[in-house]
Amino acid sequence: MIALALLLFILPALTARAEAPSAPAIRIATFGSDLTRSGPGLLLRDILSGKDAQVAAVVAAIGATGADILLLTGIDHDHGLVALSALAERISAAGIEYPYLFALRPNRGMATGLDLDGDGRAGGPDDAQGFGRFSGARGMALLSRYPILGAEARDFSDFLWRDLPGARGPDPMRPEVAAVQRLATTGFWEVPVRLPDGQRLRLLGFHAGPPAFGRGRRNLDRNHDETAFWAALLDARLPLAPPEPPFVLLGNANLDPFDGDGRHEAIRALLAHRALQDPAPRSAGGPAASAAQGGVNATHRGDPALDTADHRDTPPGPGNLRVTYVLPSSDLTVRAAGVLWPPPA
């Protein structure tokens, strides 16, 4: 289970009216929905059936946040956004209208024709640009109450891993892999949204692969570098123009600042970046779950109130972690922040 990380903020032009009751605020959230199935078309089937318990739970959770802009990760992608449109209709029936939708084909399931994972066979799910059993598996999607300026979007999903300064991979002894291996497991997006006052807010979306699983250090190194990509972009250390503020970096880094697997220094550096601010959204349910579940949670260094994911608690864990983030640019004024993880009561 991954909880919704929710942020409310106001844009710089509105800060003078921050204390006024009528001052508008923008609610933005990210949610690891896990709306994925074993093959193409199956998610659409389950959404349309009206009987799938997981789909109903996702719709209810989204309805509870009232987010104006929502980034979903872990949702299967299809041509024409048919499944996403069907999901938006279900959400509309729950009381929230998202007339604007955006999604691009993810790297997950995108065939390379190579044996990327080194198991001696090509064509497996871990031989795709990002792990996926079919093209479009576990992609990302934006849902918005405000116009999404898709024609102005920048897609960095084809950025090669080897081109990241200080990259930890891919294997330099396999030049044929280095020539094609993309860094993003799912995708790297910059998508502008036009707000009611005419300002543009740029959304920087991503969903990194997990640092565990796989062969050798490949996933560990890739997860680190997917997070490090954003710091390099903000620092103008890439052959890509940095995003113009205001912007919000959001999604699933699959990396906790202190606990679980992974190279924690990458996310700690991003959270401390001068171009960003960390509102540290909290919940009451996180600490309650950590205390009730025990196990490896008792060994964690991080504050359980910041957790956004409920993983296995028995050793080796990793237990509950903070892996999803909503990080506004430093020029934005944060009004409130939180994680939708209700306590047991």
Per-residue pLDDT of the chain (345 residues; tens, 9 = 90+): 566 666 665 544 333 233 444 557 899 999 999 999 999 999 999 999 999 999 999 999 999 989 999 999 999 999 999 999 999 999 999 999 999 999 999 999 999 999 988 888 999 999 999 999 999 999 999 999 999 999 999 999 999 999 999 999 998 889 999 999 999 999 999 999 999 989 999 999 999 999 987 677 899 999 999 999 999 999 999 999 999 999 999 999 999 999 999 999 999 999 999 999 999 999 999 999 999 999 999 999 999 999 999 999 999 889 999 999 999 999 999 999 999 998 888
| Pairing outcome for strands 139-144 and 4-10 | unpaired
The CA distance from 9 to 4, in Å, is: 16
Q: State which H helix or E strand residue 221 sits in.
A: helix 218-234
pTM across the whole model: 0.93
184: left (phi over 0), alpha (psi -120 to 50) or beta: beta
In this structure, what DSSP letter does residue 267 have? H
What lies within 8 Å, CB to CB, of 49 at 6+ separation is none
Question: Using CA atoms in the order 327, 329, 335, 337, what is the torsion angle rounded to 10 degrees?
Answer: 0
Residue 169 φ/ψ region, left for φ over 0, alpha for ψ in the -120 to 50 degree band, beta for the rest? beta
Distance CA 273, CA 234 (A): 9
pLDDT of 7: 62
pLDDT of residue 172: 83
Residue 136, Cβ density class (10 Å: 0-12 exposed, 13-18 middle, ≥19 buried): buried
| Closest to 140 (Cα-Cα) out of 111, 110, 103, 108 | 103
Taking the C-alpha atoms of residue 76 and residue 34, their distance in angstroms, rounded to an integer, is 9
